[in-house]
Structure 1
Amino acid sequence: MKILIIHNILWTHYKSVLFEAIEQNKARDMEICVLQIAKNDISRKNMASSEVNYAYNYHLLFDDFIENIPSVKKVLAVLRFIKNYNPDVVNVTGWAGDLSLTLSIIFSFFLGKKIIISNESTSFDHQRSFIKELVKKTLVKMADGFIVFGKTSKEYLLNLGANESQFIEEKGAVVDDKKIREIYETARIEKFLAGEVKTSHNFIFVGRIIGVKNIPILIRAFQEIKQSIAEAKDWGLIILGNGTLDEQIKLEISKGDQDIYKFDAVHWQTVPKYFSKSDCLVLPSKSEPWGLVVNEAMICGLGVIVSNACGCKDDLVAGNGFVFEANNQNELKECMINFVINVDRRESMKKNSLEIIEQFKVELVAKRIISGFQKIYQQA
């Protein structure tokens, strides 16, 4: 059985760790190749490392940023590879954002291949157009199976016409759990940031400093808590990231309490070090297809507070934190107060995070996907 996985960018580390686990756990009769369209995208050019080794079988079409490659060139190269490789099963990851991915589904369908679509989108993460949704409905009808991040992305496909029996993996949102936990534990032992972060307990935000992340309401909610409850005296707020609103955020911070620590963006492998000084991740986004940083925080045993605009809310928040209405600063503040004042419940929530995230471990997801490949291949 030959399986072709089509992906847009080689650099994407959380996908690479999944591809590696699939390679390591594949059945003996499986040949798997990951077709990577481009090496990276321009927005991540400063985050890439030349020392990365990818431990899975892949073919790179263009050693360039994906934005630099003409659409026609991408389409022809992808379709040519599908024809020459002649797989039995084609798994397209990300299916309507790039013309080459969309046409690879249609081309594979007319070649009589089994098709599996990996979907991260939800019904609320972007403004939808009638024509795009019509195209997606057509693509869904062509597919034999689906891999989704969680409940919200599954519901989106069901609304587009997918059948319940077609889902081969429903917890496809993965990160490098082993590496993250290892870095976190080492940072705890080494007392990372001991000289810079003076507060014993901390909330943390990790991400780009841009409007959709809604960071100002987090800062204001935290400042109000510090002023209103005595239990917050030894609590701080860590903000880790950079973006177009850096200056605005610095201005917000300067208006109030000094227990807010702003750090520049770091490589993903450094983020768990900051979690070692934190108790709870807050993700106040106005729109978030999933929020993989929530996975990362839970692997490190943090509680979580997320807005209801985060795609992960239904899968990852259950007795380990709170969900608040996006843009509702008062509701966010109440969630944060509950986390501060209820010590016993706080420790229980942190423990629950570790239990919930177990089902999203890379190796378990990879094994379930491999079983799904076999199931789809064997269907008449």
Structure 2
Amino acid sequence: MKNKIHMKQYYDLIFITNLPSFYKIKLYNEIALQKKILVIYTGDTAKERNKNFFNGTPNFRYYYLQGNIIKKIYFTIQILLKLNYNHLVLGGWDSLIMWIANFFSSKRKNGVIIESTCYESSTKGLKYIIKQIFLSHTSIAFTCGSPHSRLIKKLKFKGKIIETGGVGLINCQKRPHYIHKNTIKNFLYVGRLVDVKNIEFLIQEFNQFPESNLTIVGEGKLESYLKSISNNNITFLGHINNEELPNIYKTHDVFILPSLSETWGLVVEEALNNGLPVIVSNRVGCHENLIKENYNGFVYAVNDHDMFKKYIKQITKPEIYNRLVYNISNIDFQQQAYKQISSFVNLS
């Protein structure tokens, strides 16, 4: 419902965010079933994202800011001064529009979504001071998980912290059935082919495991290079639509995310939801909240080749693998989604 904004309307929540990613749209749709919301998209670009990333049908009121930065700031101020709303939820602190909105709105109404973690976000020097200034006019911090909450605490945030348990809603599948396997050899990576994802490390490792297969789903600037250093046991599938990904997950045994930095890791949720144990680096933001060591996966120290090899060997043992898969089959993924939705719906 892309409508002109009537300045006398009331909204329970106004969200200001950059782009309409599919997992955010699903979250907003669920919130809109219980609350009257408006989503304002600032129109900031997202590099190296395919069109499928933005798929989704919004069932809520939304508006794209148009024109240059001056026009966008002017319209944002007009909205905040003239609309009647209970809560303003900002999608971060990295853009000028977010700063303008934060200080033109009442502090008691202001909340900010924190997708940065204590792993990669600076809490020293000028950046530390700038973040503290932003937070000084915010009453609620919506943190995705534990490392995100620790970041806010390091910044000495004095408001309310609500841990949402995610960055949006995945295309949730039915609870996976437990299927016993005697052979575990098909590994999977899903994501962009860019430096921060650390796929070269992954390829180096699987070049040493010719008896195992690695499938890489995604596209990006490193695709040609990564193909050039890969052995025959490594297959590149390119871009796969989100709707088709469950079929890919279900034809593999283990999911791997070796990122150097990952503020959350939605693909980890997707993999678990499709019944796959996971191996991720300790720089993947969701690992503290979603992965229980030796229960549904393993977490290794980033770029630690020996530790990585150890977990590959462990997870290919049927007695270990099947225990992990059985545990995953008992996870309530709907409850995880409910936690995110209720974080916003239950605001007083």
Q: TM-score range by the shorter chain?
A: 0.7 to 0.9
Aligned length: 333
Distance 1:183 1:262 in 2: 28
How far residue 354 of structure 1 moved from its aligned partner, in angstroms, is 4.7
Quick one: which of 207, 213, 222 aligns to 1:223? Answer: 207
Counterparts in 2 of 1:128 and 1:252: CA distance versus 1, 3 Å: farther
Show CA shifts across 1:190-240 (max 9, x none). xxxxxxxxx9741101111111111122122223233xxxxxx4x311111
For CA contacts below 8 A with separation 6 or more, give which structure has more relative contact order.
1
Quick one: which of 140, 143, 148 aligns to 1:148? Answer: 143
* Contact 1:89–1:114 under 8 Å retained in 2: yes
Counterparts in 2 of 1:7 and 1:45: CA distance versus 1, 3 Å: farther
- Mapping for residues 22-41 of structure 1, pairs under 5 Å: 22-26=31-35, 31-38=36-43, 41=46
- Corresponding residue of 1:205: 189
Q: 2:291 aligned with 1:317, yes or no?
A: yes
* Contact 2:188–2:255 under 8 Å retained in 1: yes
Q: 2:250 aligned with 1:276, yes or no?
A: yes
Show CA shifts across 1:87-143 (max 9, x none). 12211122x11110122111113xx65111111001222566733321211222322
Distance 1:21 1:358 in 2: 15
Counterparts in 2 of 1:304 and 1:145: CA distance versus 1, 3 Å: same
How far residue 289 of structure 1 moved from its aligned partner, in angstroms, is 1.0
- Corresponding residue of 2:237: 263
- Mapping for residues 105-184 of structure 1, pairs under 5 Å: 105-109=102-106, 113-126=108-121, 130-163=125-158, 166-178=160-172, 181=173
AA matched with 2:270: E
Counterparts in 2 of 1:184 and 1:201: CA distance versus 1, 3 Å: farther
Distance 2:51 2:25 in 1: 18
Counterparts in 2 of 1:147 and 1:102: CA distance versus 1, 3 Å: same
| Secondary structure, counterpart of 2:157 in structure 1 | coil
- Corresponding residue of 2:89: 91
Q: 2:215 aligned with 1:238, yes or no?
A: yes
Counterparts in 2 of 1:184 and 1:251: CA distance versus 1, 3 Å: farther
Distance 2:261 2:39 in 1: 30
Q: Whose helix proportion is higher, 1 or 2?
A: 1
Q: 2:17 aligned with 1:8, yes or no?
A: yes
Distance 1:8 1:368 in 2: 17
TM-score, scaled to structure 1: 0.79
- Corresponding residue of 1:367: 342
Q: % of aligned pairs identical?
A: 25
TM-score, scaled to structure 2: 0.86
Q: 2:315 aligned with 1:339, yes or no?
A: yes
Distance 1:303 1:366 in 2: 26
Distance 1:3 1:107 in 2: 18
| Secondary structure, counterpart of 1:253 in structure 2 | coil
Show CA shifts across 1:290-349 (max 9, x none). 1111011111111011111111111111021111111112211111111012x1221221
How far residue 7 of structure 1 moved from its aligned partner, in angstroms, is 2.8
Show CA shifts across 1:358-377 (max 9, x none). 37633342123211x21xxx
